[in-house]
């Protein structure tokens, strides 16, 4: 999905990327955001999806979403990893690294990477 978004070989200026449930992940959201794209999802079985709360203790603010809300976003982890993520995003944008090589760092199998922390 990211490779097609970055290197679509057209003159189009892509702003949004529409994907089904298979194109959805925290990694996809992060890199789309860092690269200036909106990731637009069509979620299959939304009742079984898990979403993060913006802050702890916000259950009442999103009462209709309680069945799909999980833990709050770890903003401190984002602050710690931001510079490194920007380097990866820049490498993707410039094509100085292969998309697959960068994204592999963030798979569920690579629990050593700091961004894989729960």
pTM over 0.85: no
Sign of CA dihedral 78, 13, 38, 44: negative
Q: Report CA Rg, the chain.
A: 16
Q: Please name the helix (run of DSSP H) or strand (run of DSSP E) that holds residue 18, with its range, or none.
A: strand 16-20
pLDDT of residue 113: 64
pLDDT of residue 80: 93
Q: Which residues pair with 39 in a beta bridge?
A: 17
Beta carbons within 8 Å of 64's beta carbon, 6+ residues apart? none
Report mean pLDDT in 10-residue bins for the chain, 118 residues. Answer: 72 78 74 87 78 82 84 90 92 90 77 62
pLDDT of residue 23: 59
């Amino acid at each position: 999905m990211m490779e097609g978004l970055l290197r679509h070989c057209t003159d189009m200026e892509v702003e949004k990327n529409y994907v089904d449930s298979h194109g959805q992940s925290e990694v996809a959201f992060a890199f789309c955001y860092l690269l200036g794209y909106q990731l637009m999802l069509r979620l299959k079985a939304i009742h079984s999806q898990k979403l993060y709360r913006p802050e702890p203790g916000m259950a009442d603010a999103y009462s209709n979403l309680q069945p799909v809300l999980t833990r709050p976003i770890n903003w401190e982890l984002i602050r710690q990893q931001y510079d490194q993520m920007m380097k990866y995003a820049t490498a993707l944008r410039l094509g100085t690294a292969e998309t697959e090589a960068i994204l592999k760092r963030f798979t569920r199998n690579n629990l050593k990477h700091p961004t894989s922390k729960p």
